[in-house]
Amino acid sequence: MSKAKDAAVADTTGKDTAGEPLLRVEGLVKHFPVKKGLLQRQVGAVKAVDGLSFDVHAGETLGIVGESGCGKSTMGRLITRLDEPTSGRIEFQGHDITHMSAGKIRPLRRDVQMIFQDPYSSLNPRHTIGTIVGAPFKLQNVEPEGGVKQEVQRLLGLVGLSPEHYNRYPHEFSGGQRQRIGIARALALSPKLVVADEPVSALDVSIQAQVVNLLDDLQDELGLTYVIIAHDLSVIRHVSDRIAVMYLGKIVELSDRKSLYERPMHPYTKALLSAVPVPDPRRRGLKSERILLQGDVPSPLSPPSGCRFHTRCWKATEVCRTVEPPLIQLEPGHEAACHHPENAPDQIPDDTTVLASAREAIALVGDAVAVDPAVAEAGESAEAPKTVGTAKSEKTAGTAEAPSKGLTKE
Ligand SMILES: Nc1ncnc2c1ncn2[C@@H]1O[C@H](COP(=O)(O)OP(=O)(O)O)[C@@H](O)[C@H]1O
Ligand code: SF4
Ligand SMILES: [Mg+2]
């Protein structure tokens, strides 16, 4: 984590205390129309992003986390203006860029860059590394001091590659090296904001930490601001200053890192945290329990009424089904959208009758089972999964497959 950012982000609520935020997003919406028939009539819309509001301050890292399909990549493409928002507002350095035309947005392309998830498909196989990393200079008509080749070779060195790689092709590199090439390309024009969309999820676990550490070091060295997207809280744990948890197109919790990990307020965050593998093998024998969400994520074509999480939440009551909880600050620097939050006063304490579906919304699994399925298979696991609530949930109890469902790694 950058040292500079501590000063920049004095107030973790996202309210600006050190000048304007670098990026301000208000009520951002992206609905993809679904069309059918010969006339291509619109019959519905995929509500990929459905009202996001957050700030990103200069020098900080905002982590965005949530299950696959919750709208993270769409959000990334909207704030880098690769996609056109349906509604809402995006401000970069105080300027409204929400619907800026292609011509006007060109200078912004220097300041805001994206690192993509798949280092295999994001690099053109027919181009040399020199052409790929040097492309932004051509596109923006920029002639760096000392020439493009020298600058590309400097960038390759910066990301831990050799300047001699200049004339080589992407297929000659491993996944981790390719992602370093993607990072070098993103940094070519000295951007102010870098949006990294699951930058390590296509890589071997053994090299994920190297690439995350590289991003962290580059931030310190170059004073970068990051939005890092991940589907797994473990990836962004050490690099984020603040974290936004997304569920079905909405932010359900937004907090500084420490508070989120130590006192999660939204039941969904609690389940996500519970699914983070424990890296320390000495802790594998612990008999603590993990929450395993049952059921699939509902479709963003017709999200559930009220709180979108109510179909999978073990605390859901009638009000959850009917009234959407607003994202509000429940503690300084800690916002959550929940009627019955964890680690905070109940917002509707009189509403105590949980929905029938809530009783089978989760299973609890022994720590050892979730940490290492191989151990579980070998019969060394201390506990089989057990469900909370009714006997109806027996379908999940005691099965070796149970840990692979729900919120384990994608
Ligand atoms: N271009 C598109 N057209 C239609 N639907 C899309 C498009 N891009 C994404 N979606 C849908 O929007 C939802 C969110 O997708 P995405 O932003 O990729 O989620 P995530 O990155 O969190 O996995 C998904 O249901 C996905 O199928
Ligand atoms: S308790 Fe209710 S409002 Fe809170 S996450 Fe669960 S369903 Fe949503
Ligand atoms: Mg994605």
The response to whether residue 68 sits with its C-beta less than 6 Å from ligand 1 reads yes
pLDDT in tens, 287-296: 557 888 888 8
248 lines ligand 2 (CB under 6 A): no
Cβ 48 under 6 angstroms from ligand 1: yes
Q: Is the beta carbon of 250 within 6 A of some atom in ligand 2?
A: no
> Ligand 3 is a single-atom ion; what residues have CB below 5 A from it?
72-73
**Ligand 2 mean position, distance from CA 337 (Å):** 8
Can you tell me which atom of ligand 1 is nearest the CA of 246?
22
32 class by beta-carbon count within 10 Å (0-12 exposed, 13-18 middle, 19+ buried):
middle
- Determine which residue's CA is closest to atom 10 belonging to ligand 1: 48
Nearest ligand to the CA of 83 is: 1
> Is the CB of residue 306 less than 8 Å from the CB of residue 229?
no
Q: Ligand 1: does its nearest atom lie under 6 Å from the Cβ of 64?
A: no
Residues 6+ apart with CB under 8 A from 1: 61, 216, 238, 239, 240, 241
| Closest-lying ligand 1 atom to the alpha carbon of residue 30 | 12
308 lines ligand 2 (CB under 6 A): no
- From the list 218, 193, 231, the residue with the least C-alpha distance to 64 is 231
Cα–Cα distance, 298 to 309 (Å, whole number): 9
- Show the low-confidence residues of the chain (pLDDT under 50): 3-17, 282-283, 369-410
Report the amino acid identity of residue 188.
A
* Closest ligand 2 atom to Cα of 340: 1
- Residue among 200, 366, 205, 371 nearest 277 (CA): 371
The pLDDT value recorded for residue 1 is 55
From residue 49, alpha-carbon distances to 78, 88, 252, 285 in Å are 9, 11, 13, 40
- Would the CB of 354 count as within 6 Å of ligand 2? no
Q: Which residue is listed with tokens 């196989």? A: 125
CB 196 within 8 A of CB 77: no
Ligand 1 atom 14: residue of nearest CA:
71
Q: How far is the CA of 195 from the centre of ligand 1 (A)?
A: 17
pLDDT at 277: 56
Q: Which ligand is nearest to the CA of 297?
A: 1
pLDDT number for residue 292: 85
| pLDDT of res. 125 | 95
C-alpha–C-alpha distance, residues 406 and 410, integer Å:
9
Task: Please report the pLDDT score of residue 287 as a whole number.
Answer: 52
Q: What atom in ligand 1 is closest to the CA of residue 76?
A: 17
Q: Which domains does the chain have, with CATH numbers?
A: 4-250 (3.40.50.300), 267-404 (no CATH)
Instruction: Tell which atom from ligand 2 comes closest to the C-alpha of 321.
Output: 7
Distances from the Cα of 17 to the Cα of 10, 259, 290, 329, angstroms:
6, 19, 38, 17
Tokens of 220: 């310190």
- pLDDT value at position 107? 85
157-185 pLDDT per residue, tens: 999 999 999 999 999 999 999 999 999 99
